[in-house]
Amino acid sequence: MAWTEQDLREIEDELKKGSQGVGDVPEAESLGGITSLPAYQEVEGQDMPKIVRAPLTLLAAPALEAADKANAAATKAEENAAAAQTAANSANEKAGLAAQAASDANAAKEGAEAATQSANAAASNAEEKASLANTAALNAEKVANNPTYIGKDHYVYVYNKDTESFDKTDIYCKGEPGSSFRVAGEYDTLEALKSAVPDGSAVDGFMAVGTEAPYDYYAWVNGEWVSQGKIGGIEEAPTDGKAYGRKNGDWAEVPEHLNLTSENLNDINGAGFATQRSTADYTSPENNYPINENGALIFANANYGHSNQIYGSYLTNRWFARGGGNQQGVRTNWKEFAFTDDVLTKTNTSSFTPTGDYQPATKKYVDDKHIMLTITDEAHIQLISNQEVKAGEAESKINLVFGSIDNFKNIIQRLLSDNILFLKITEKEIFKVSTSHTYCNPDNGAYELSFIYTYTSIADANNISLVTKRIFIALNSNATNFFVVKDILVSDNLTTIIKKTTDEYNAIDQKSEQTMYAITCLLYTSPSPRD
């Protein structure tokens, strides 16, 4: 039978009468003896939970698990703390090492800087020594490339690296010219050489004799050892206060520079150089100076103990020379040097206009004095054709002959400056206008030229004509232009003028039609009243 809701209520009430709620259970003072706790446990599908015992082991399990986890975490933390301490100890150790390393690094830096300075100094010293080494190497190379040799004159030649040429020594040998100088042996004395090598015919080279440089060098010559002199062993010059130089292997006196005071140049002989820095009074002609001015003297030996002399002045830079002469007591006269800037040379390219009577003239100057006017055949015909034209027609003919009006004016002005006019007809025919009159007045525009034109006309061997023309050409801005050409003598048939007395004229039976006769006779005068 099914339980009703009323039944259930009654049952619930009965249960409640003899039961306690969980909240009504007394509290225990401790967990001793307690194994479980009452608890409600929900049941799926039921409204009422069921009451069950909950063992303490189940209730403690989460706490124990948490404790285990806490213990594990604590252990891990302790382990981590130990590791951290170890790391800290290691870090401290490494920090100490780092500090020591930093200290060592600073010390190394200072050492490096000092080493750098030393290295730089060493490098500079090395460069200097390298430069010296290079120089030495170059010198060595020069010497190596230019070995000592025997010249064609059988003397030994040694290379001089300073002059880059070969110096002739005093060593003479019979070796083959061009061969290298070779030292075959060294001996302290000549006796030691002769004892060791009594026969030197097979020796290729020279024997050095001596205990220190410069050594004497010996060569086998004609069956014996013969001294050939020293290399680099030049004897000291004389110590008498004079100047000496080497000449032909010996010491020769060198003339010293002289400071002239009041010396007469006729007393200066020998060879040398001198200066005149004293007062100009000493450079007078009485002391045989070429110019009264201080200067320098160069002199050299000549005949008869005289000297050839060259004297140059300081201020004006004039130079003079004279010879020693050809006999005792005679010298040549001073002659002055002419420099290129003072003369016209044959390659001169600068302009020069002579102003003095005896000054030379350049080719250009002479050419400019000659006016060469090239004219056409038509212009030539106008100059030999009799005519008298004016105004514009005259101007046209001036243009034709002279090329232009301006050229005509220019020629007139040049003729006024003592120039000469030439008319060039062809390469084989030139006319010189020698007898002329020129007038020029630019103020009123007047330009005039008058001249005589003479030429010949040859038709054949029997027909020769001598022609003379008068020519007048003028430009006048204030008057009329002219172009006039006329014969000097105009006649149809007259060719000769002859002078005759009356009797001579009367004696001529047949008079020539081309001859004009001038009759001369004595004039009759009446007697004076006082006669």
Tell me the mean pLDDT in the region 113-130: 65
Q: Which helix (H) or strand (E) holds 5?
A: helix 5-17
pLDDT surpassing 70 at residue 123: no
| Highest-confidence segment of 354-363, 395-404, 448-457 | 395-404
Q: Which of 247, 262, 264 is nearest to 306 (CA)?
A: 264
pLDDT for 442-482, tens place per residue? Answer: 888 899 999 998 888 887 877 888 888 899 999 988 788 99
What's the pLDDT at 529?
A: 45
The per-residue DSSP string of 390-427 comes to EHHHHHHHHHHHHSSHHHHHHHHHHHTTT-EEEEEEET
What's the pLDDT at 192?
A: 93
Tell me the mean pLDDT in the region 215-240: 80
Is the Cα torsion angle 147, 151, 154, 158 positive or negative in sign?
negative
pLDDT surpassing 60 at residue 216: yes
pLDDT surpassing 80 at residue 153: no
Output Rg (C-alpha) for the chain, integer angstroms. Answer: 70
| Highest-confidence segment of 12-16, 24-28, 117-121, 384-388 | 384-388
Confidence category of residue 380, pLDDT binned at 50, 70, 90: very high
Encode 464-495: b = buried (16+ Cβ within 10 Å), e = exposed. eeeeebebebbbeeeeebbbbbeeeeeeeeee
* Residue 38 backbone dihedrals phi, psi, to 5 degrees: -70, 145
What's the pLDDT at 457?
A: 80
What's the pLDDT at 337?
A: 93
The mean-pLDDT minimum among 90-94, 332-336, 461-465 falls in 90-94
What's the pLDDT at 252?
A: 78
Confidence category of residue 433, pLDDT binned at 50, 70, 90: confident
The mean-pLDDT minimum among 3-12, 373-382, 503-512 falls in 3-12
What's the pLDDT at 334?
A: 94
What's the pLDDT at 1?
A: 55
Tell me the mean pLDDT in the region 149-157: 68
| Alpha carbon distances (Å) from 432 to 20, 420, 424 | 179, 8, 9
The mean-pLDDT minimum among 173-177, 256-260, 402-406 falls in 173-177
What's the pLDDT at 374?
A: 93
Cα first-last separation, the chain: 242
pLDDT surpassing 50 at residue 83: yes
The per-residue DSSP string of 88-123 comes to HHHHHHHHHHHHHHHHHHHHHHHHHHHHHHHHHHHH
Better-scored residue on pLDDT, 343 or 107: 343
Tell me the mean pLDDT in the region 202-220: 86
What's the pLDDT at 528?
A: 45
The per-residue DSSP string of 191-213 comes to HHHHHH-S--TT--SEEEESSSS
Q: Counting Cβ atoms within 10 Å, is residue 423 exposed (0-12), middle (13-18) or buried (19+)? A: buried
Among residues of the chain, what percentage have pLDDT more than 90?
A: 21
| pTM assigned to the model | 0.37
Q: Which helix (H) or strand (E) holds 247?
A: strand 244-247
Read off the amino acid at residue 509. D
pLDDT surpassing 90 at residue 360: no
pLDDT surpassing 70 at residue 381: yes
Whether the Cβ atoms of residue 362 and residue 351 lie closer than 8 Å to each other: yes
Q: What's the whole-number average pLDDT of the chain?
A: 79
Confidence category of residue 531, pLDDT binned at 50, 70, 90: very low
Tell me the mean pLDDT in the region 78-85: 73
The mean-pLDDT minimum among 244-248, 282-286, 403-407 falls in 244-248
SS3 content of the chain, % helix, strand, coil (to 5): 30, 30, 35
Q: Counting Cβ atoms within 10 Å, is residue 166 exposed (0-12), middle (13-18) or buried (19+)? A: middle
Per domain, the residue ranges of the chain are 150-230, 255-339, 363-487, 495-531
What's the pLDDT at 410?
A: 92
pLDDT for 477-517, tens place per residue? Answer: 878 899 999 988 655 556 677 888 888 888 888 887 778 87
pLDDT surpassing 70 at residue 390: yes
What's the pLDDT at 530?
A: 38
Structure tokens at 302: 């000549």
* Distance of alpha carbon 190 from alpha carbon 182, whole angstroms: 18
The mean-pLDDT minimum among 148-157, 354-363, 459-468 falls in 148-157
Better-scored residue on pLDDT, 111 or 390: 390
pLDDT for 166-201, tens place per residue? Answer: 788 766 665 555 556 678 889 999 999 999 999 988
What's the pLDDT at 127?
A: 67
Whether the Cβ atoms of residue 280 and residue 294 lie closer than 8 Å to each other: yes
pLDDT surpassing 50 at residue 136: yes
Confidence category of residue 245, pLDDT binned at 50, 70, 90: confident
Q: Counting Cβ atoms within 10 Å, is residue 174 exposed (0-12), middle (13-18) or buried (19+)? A: exposed
What's the pLDDT at 362?
A: 87
What's the pLDDT at 145?
A: 65
